[in-house]
Structure 1
Amino acid sequence: CTRVMWTPPLRESFSYPFLVLQMLLVTHILRATKLYRGSLIALCISNVFFMLPWQFAQFVLLTQIASLFAVYVVGYIDIFKLRKIIYIHMVMISLFFFFHFDLKTNFWLVFGLFLAETSCNAILAVKPHILKINVSELSLWVIQGSFWLFGTVTLKYLTSKIFGIADDAHIGNLLTSKFFSYKDFDTLLYTCAAEFDFMEKETPLRYTKTLLLPVVLVVFVAIIRKIISDMWGVLAKQQTHIRKHQLDHGELVYHALQLLAYTALGILIMRLKLFLTPHMCVMACLICSRQLFGWLFCKVHPGAVVFAVLAAMSVQGSANLQTQWNIVGEFSNLPQEELIEWIKYSTKPDAVFAGAMPTMASVKLSALRPIVNHPHYEDAGLRPGCSMPEIWDVEDPANAGKPPLCNLLVKESKPHFTTVFQNSVYKVLEVIEE
């Protein structure tokens, strides 16, 4: 709630509620003994609305496909359910392309997700032929996992190299910079902001103070014990055809795997705690699960356990709430308001503006004037036009320390520009026509 309250314009703030709905529907589908068309249609719609506002949503759905595929490989869901979910994802991709305006860029951004789903479908198709070889269960798991990784990662890499696609290359470079000394303009532009750095050390401590992390660890260990017990029972049988029944409670295993994926994302990029913290809260609710803690509830009333956990959590939780409630203020940016008012009443409706992206967003949305900036840094053709003076000292060391062009224009805009507006923060220059 605080994230949306303090930073409402973030694209993921618009997308995340639909991801919550989407995961609820996936959980319902995994638990249901019979699939209903309404659930599948609702899943497709929520997927589309999750994808539309945020270009990086496809990476989150990629972790979901990977988790569901792992759940299927081990035997917690049947082939029919997985195939239906994959088909829904493919329909979602088609609808996404239909509704989105930047077809070229988003095609290659979503291509990795498409390959992951196609690889799953291919494995489902060839699995009956693999079973004829009479391989062991463990070998079958390894074969399917290796095939999926090859079809998703290797083919995506080869396709990008063959067609010279670099729209999502900065994502790989950003991850590379997390583990190695690699750096370029793109990685420096991202990592200079704290939200794209590693998770801060205080975050696990805050999770622990509210008892969220300890409760989640208890639930996670209980699920892992169940998985190990189930897998041991399966692997103890020599042939794959011996196991005729499906393992129970695949939704618990799915959420445990999804938690691992969100944890990795949150640790690597602090901004993606957006997915980790709420999912930890969802996992903490499983402390009430009779499937996991039925042995405890036979001795202690479930209500007593829930009350004790909530009472312990509320000690630090109430302090956190009070801290948020004590923040009282009002947004005020008088210089920008002056700029917007001047643009609205002193310029023509077709006057075109260029400048820093946050300012241009206000010009576009509040003054309804066209801008030359493009908001999608994911477009490889647009990235070379992006600049940041502090980083150019690293990119161009021969000219390091020299004043940037913008600073020179602030002091003297002639002969190519003339100053038409200026206040304590902003200065608007107009191009002088030849």
Structure 2
Amino acid sequence: MILGSLLISFNLSVLIARKLQNLKTGNFLNRLGKLLLHLFVVLCLTLFLNNMIKRALSLKSDEHIFKFLKAKSGFGATRDFDANLYLCEEAFGLLPWNTFGRLSDTLLLHAYVFVLLVTVTAALAVALRNLSLSSASPAQPPLGQTGKGTVSLGADAAYSLAHTVVFGALALSTMRMKYLWTPHVCVFAASGLCSPEVWGLLLKVTRLYSPARMCVMRYAVPMLTLSYLCCKLWPGVMDELSELREFYDPDTVELMHWISTHTPGTAVFAGSMQLLAGVKLCTGRTLTNHPHYEDSNLRARTKAVYQIYAKRPPEDVHALLRALGTDYVILEDSICHERRHPRGCRLRDLLDVANGHMMDGPGENDPDLKLAGHPRFCEEIKRDLPPYTALFTRVFRNKTFHVYKLARDRHPAAREPPPLT
């Protein structure tokens, strides 16, 4: 996984590109052209090396991410089950606009935009100055050690700027990535408000620069901002801390208690990723799959287990589950009869399309999809028909969950891959 990452390929590409190009010779236009060519070479070389490494090592761990990005960017729809799982989740959509409103309520967005504009201005000024200098020009003072009228940008500030731009682009394109961007917004805004570089540049532009003024600004503005936020937010914070809440899900608690008391410690369970994570945590039982979705083997296991919500005959489902060593399978009504997602994004719809079957309900289907030859497994198994009861025995049921014990193979064969522990 690490060897096939884009970071490894990017580092190799940068080292190779640095040996092939000299960015410190020529006039401004020549240097600018070399810089753009340098970036293009690094990008192409990164993709090429990454593809070669994955082919050489037969790595497929992140191929679903590239399918997801391709479909999300509008370069064609996909029927890949794993990619569609991401596409249909709200967390992987665009960042909603109300996020900026919530960030503005605490003045975080205002401080962030202010520091970002100043830092970007300084970065552009330093970049243009470096590109304009010839190799014969006198040496410039190091970053951070400049005179009164010179714009500078420290290496730490440049690194933080690059990070916040990348994290911001990720968050804007995929809402779930805001967990990377939002903490960095706090760090970037706080460091900028206290930075002598930011206030030094601002005072130089307004021709008011002096060491004393810069010192006053870098201490006074953060203190005033913190004082305002304390007065505004303190009552709400105390109200939230005074609220005592308790998690209440009796159906799940009942299921976990039943598993702990009525099944052997070596039993292997199959079900949805989110539920099995709780089963492992609460009961310690062995699982067929879990939410670590960045492994191709685990994705294949999950898709095989999720056939319990597809239109498959009981013999096929039983064979798939037993191949993973499953002893018990947990069916959830909230997935089998899902209404949260629109048609085409329900889990059962994704499975139908991936299996080449037409989706349920009114609406259009792709012309090459066919009617399934069998009813939906999660619905039909509850009717206790002989083909199902011969292979699956219901051992637990409540309003949310149905647990079935699988019949043992009459002619046991080697089970690969082994159950996850």
Please state which band the TM-score falls in when normalised by the shorter chain: 0.5 to 0.7
Q: CA 1:324 to 1:175, structure 2 compared with 1: closer, same or farther past 3 Å?
A: farther
Q: Which of 343, 352, 376 pairs up with 2:268?
A: 352
Match of residue 276, structure 1, among 181, 198, 201:
181
For residues 242 and 383 of structure 2, the distance between their equivalents in structure 1, rounded to whole angstroms, comes to 43
Aligned partners of 1:340 and 1:363 also within 8 Å: yes
Seen in structure 2, the aligned counterparts of structure 1 residues 354 and 229 have a Cα distance that, compared at 3 Å, is same
**Structure 2: which amino acid aligns with 1:182?**
A
> Which of 251, 258, 265 is the matching residue for 2:163?
258
Query: Could you give the per-residue CA deviations for residues 265-293 of structure 1, whole angstroms, max 9, x where no partner exists?
Result: 11111111111111111111111211210
Larger radius of gyration: 2
> How far did residue 252 of structure 1 move?
0.6
Please state if 1:236 is matched with 2:132: yes
Distance 1:368 1:355, change over 3 A: same
1:220: how far off?
1.2
1:189, distance to aligned residue in structure 2 (A)? 1.0
Structure 2 counterpart of 1:410, from 374, 377, 382: 382
- The 1-side partners of 2:403 and 2:276 are apart by 12
Contact 2:119 2:161 in 1 (8 A): yes
**1:11-410 → structure 2 map (5 Å cutoff):** 106-107=1-2, 110-124=4-18, 126=19, 130=22, 136-160=30-54, 165-180=59-74, 182-184=77-79, 185-239=81-135, 243=139, 246-248=142-144, 249-285=154-190, 286-294=192-200, 295=203, 298-299=212-213, 301-302=216-217, 303-314=219-230, 317-318=233-234, 321=237, 324-325=240-241, 327-385=243-301, 386=303, 387=306, 388-395=347-354, 396-398=356-358, 400-401=360-361, 404-410=376-382
Instruction: Tell me if the contact between 1:350 and 1:370 (Cα under 8 Å) persists in the aligned partners.
Output: yes
Whole-angstrom CA distance in 2 between matches of 1:183 and 1:202:
30
SS of 2:293's partner is: coil
Write the distance in 1 (CA, Å) between the matches of 2:141 and 2:36: 21
| 1:307 CA drift (Å) | 2.7
User: Are 1:230 and 1:247, in contact at CA under 8 Å, matched by a contact in 2?
Assistant: no
Counterpart-to-counterpart distance in 2, 1:399 and 1:306: 57
C-alpha displacement at 1:158, in angstroms? 4.9
Larger deviation, residues 220-229 vs 390-399: 390-399
CA distance in 1, matches of 2:115, 2:407: 67
Alpha-carbon distance in structure 1 between the residues aligned to 2:122 and 2:25: 29
Q: How many angstroms apart in 1 are the aligned matches of 2:137 and 2:77? A: 49
TM-score by length of 1: 0.66
Secondary structure of the residue aligned to 1:272 is helix
Query: 1:430 deviation in Å?
Result: 0.9
* 8 A Cα contact 2:92 2:175, kept in partner: yes
Supply the distance in 1 between the matched residues of 2:188 and 2:120 (Cα, whole angstroms): 13
Q: 1:257 to 1:171 in 2, by over 3 A?
A: same
Aligned to 1:427: 402
Q: State the Cα distance separating 1:340 from its structure 2 match.
A: 2.1
Contact 1:352/1:371 (CA < 8 Å) preserved in 2? yes
Listed as ranges, the gaps of 5+ residues in structure 2 are 145-153, 204-208, 307-346, 362-371, 411-421
Q: For residue 143 of structure 1, report the CA deviation from its aligned partner.
A: 4.3
Distance verdict in 2 for CA 1:132–1:312, change over 3 Å: closer
User: TM-score scaled to structure 2, two decimals?
Assistant: 0.68
Q: Distance in 2 between matches of 1:321 and 1:132?
A: 54
1:164-198 per-residue CA deviation (whole Å, 9 max, x = no partner) reads: 64321211222223321524322321132221111
State the SS of the aligned residue for 1:329. Answer: coil
Counterpart amino acid of residue 373 in structure 1: N
Segment of structure 1 superposing worse, 230-239 or 286-295: 230-239
1:112 deviates by 1.9
In structure 2, how many angstroms separate the alpha carbons of the residues matched to 1:397 and 1:225?
55
> 1:140–1:338: structure 2 CA closer, same or farther, 3 Å change rule?
same
Q: How many residues align?
A: 326
- Helix, strand or coil: the match of 1:325? helix
CA distance in 2, matches of 1:178, 1:156: 21
Q: 1:237 to 1:411 in 2, by over 3 A?
A: same
Q: Secondary structure at the residue paired with 2:358?
A: helix
Query: After superposition, what is the alpha-carbon deviation per residue over 1:39-83, rounded to whole angstroms, capped at 9, x for unaligned?
Result: xxxxxxxxxxxxxxxxxxxxxxxxxxxxxxxxxxxxxxxxxxxxx
Q: SS of the counterpart of 1:182? A: coil
1:128-168: CA deviation from partner (whole Å, max 9, x where unpaired): x7479768543443343233212212322355467764321
What residue in structure 1 maps to residue 336 of structure 2? none
More moved, 240-249 vs 384-393: 240-249
> Would you say the 8 A contact 2:24–2:135 is kept in 1?
no
Paired residues of 1:420 and 1:430 also in contact (CA < 8 A): yes
**Do 2:25 and 2:31's aligned partners in 1 also have CA atoms closer than 8 Å?**
no
SS of match in other structure, 1:428: strand
| Residues 112, 152 of structure 1: 8 Å contact kept | yes
Shift in CA distance, 236/134, structure 1 to aligned 2, threshold 3 Å: closer
Q: Secondary structure at the match of 1:247?
A: coil
Q: Matches of 1:166 and 1:247 in 2, distance apart?
A: 43
